[in-house]
Structure 1
Amino acid sequence: MGKAARFCKKFLGLLEQQANPIRYARKIGVRIGEGCRISGRTNWGSEPWLITIGNHTALSFDCTFITHDGATWGFRGKPGYENIVRFGRISVGDDCFIGAKATILPGVHIGTGSIIAAGAVVASSVPAGEVWGGGCPLSD
């Protein structure tokens, strides 16, 4: 495929993602429930088929889902660590809200009814009904 064809394919994909982000997510392999809302563009990462979004969940703009950990490249060739690759499914429960520019890392499960604050980097699973910001629970 030539450079112009690759550009056109990428441009058409961006247009499709803007026009109907839920249909686009399903097309690339994200399992996404009913009654969801996606504002703006979402970065589904390189393995979108590892992502599940529950029913009635809202994603604000520029959310990122990272299903693999590229940091393993730094020590992958060292003895005892040959060919180490870390992948993990990401799941978001029903009735959740993920704030603008939040990043969800591999292996994270966000429980039903939880809220993730804008800009949070979520590295561990979130229990149901909690509000997290900066990757940890927010107190009252």
Structure 2
Amino acid sequence: MQYGPNPNALHPNEAIKSICYIKNVITRPNIFVGDYTYYDDINGAERFEEHVTHHYEFIGDKLIIGKFCAIAKGIEFVMNGANHRMNSVTTYPFNIMGGGWEKATPALEDLPLKGDTVIGNDVWIGQNVTIMPGVHIGDGAIIAANSVVAKDIPAYHIAGGNPCRILKKRFDDDLIEHLLTIKWWDWPAKEIFDHLEILCSGDLKRVLEINPLLK
């Protein structure tokens, strides 16, 4: 019996070519994406990596995206390679222009590097969102369309705006703690299939009945 779409398929539903499972189109060694996370873009969902900019292996920063994330078209992950040094008189990147200006190449420690960009599990990111270097977005968060995310967003919070700010919690603390304990996104495909009605129900009390030891 089949317990859901194949996580290794390019398009989980062949009738909807605008959606692709991102992990199956990644070629860069410094991008990591979990199962079932998709990008939705009618203009070429398979070209997701084009939306991860200024990402250079020599810097060493990673883009890490969890499982079951929904990412809408127009996303841009701005990575640490976009940063210019700010502890000198000028921020101009002379070194990349050539013509002898290479002598002004900054050391990595002179750049304001922010570390890895980490997106949790079951995160919904709306259209035309820009995520700045080093941001961490927690499990179950929602990012509103047209937002610019420059600071961390906690798990199960809704955030939006430019600059992006927290708007509200999705659930009360007890339910958030329970969801972070059961980690449904790590369950085997059959367990997810068997619990779909609860996971998709608006009756949140049913979720609290799920055994936190279920794996």
TM-score (norm 1): 0.73
Aligned CA distance change for structure 1 residues 118 and 32 (closer, same or farther; 3 Å): same
1:68-99 CA distance string (max 9 Å, x none): 264535x46439xx932233311100000111
1:53-78 CA distance string (max 9 Å, x none): 000001100100011264535x4643
Q: Which residue of 2 aligns with 1:28?
A: 28
Given the alignment of the two structures, is residue 37 of structure 1 paired with residue 38 of structure 2, yes or no?
A: yes
Q: CA deviation at 1:45?
A: 1.2
Of 47, 54, 61, 1:46 maps to 54
Q: Which residue of 2 aligns with 1:104?
A: 131
Q: CA deviation at 1:28?
A: 2.1
Aligned-partner Cα distance in 2 for 1:102–1:111: 16
Q: Which residue of 2 aligns with 1:78?
A: 89
Aligned CA distance change for structure 1 residues 19 and 110 (closer, same or farther; 3 Å): closer
Q: Which residue of 2 aligns with 1:126?
A: 153
Whether the aligned pair in 2 keeps the contact of 1:117 and 1:131 (CA below 8 Å) is yes
Letter in 2 for 1:51: L
Which structure features the higher share of strand residues?
Answer: 1
Q: Which residue of 2 aligns with 1:9?
A: none
Q: Which residue of 1 aligns with 2:195?
A: none
Q: Which residue of 1 aligns with 2:165?
A: 136
Whether the aligned pair in 2 keeps the contact of 1:98 and 1:118 (CA below 8 Å) is yes
Q: CA deviation at 1:21?
A: 6.0
Aligned CA distance change for structure 1 residues 21 and 86 (closer, same or farther; 3 Å): farther
Aligned-partner Cα distance in 2 for 1:116–1:19: 19
Of 132, 139, 142, 1:115 maps to 142
Q: Which residue of 2 aligns with 1:93?
A: 120
Aligned-partner Cα distance in 2 for 1:99–1:19: 14
Aligned-partner Cα distance in 2 for 1:19–1:59: 10
- Runs of 4 or more, structure 1, over 6 Å off, are none
Given the alignment of the two structures, is residue 63 of structure 1 paired with residue 52 of structure 2, yes or no?
A: no
Letter in 1 for 2:111: V
- Name the SS of the counterpart of 1:113 in structure 2: coil
Aligned length: 119
Q: Which residue of 2 aligns with 1:13?
A: none
Aligned CA distance change for structure 1 residues 69 and 90 (closer, same or farther; 3 Å): same
Whether the aligned pair in 2 keeps the contact of 1:69 and 1:85 (CA below 8 Å) is no
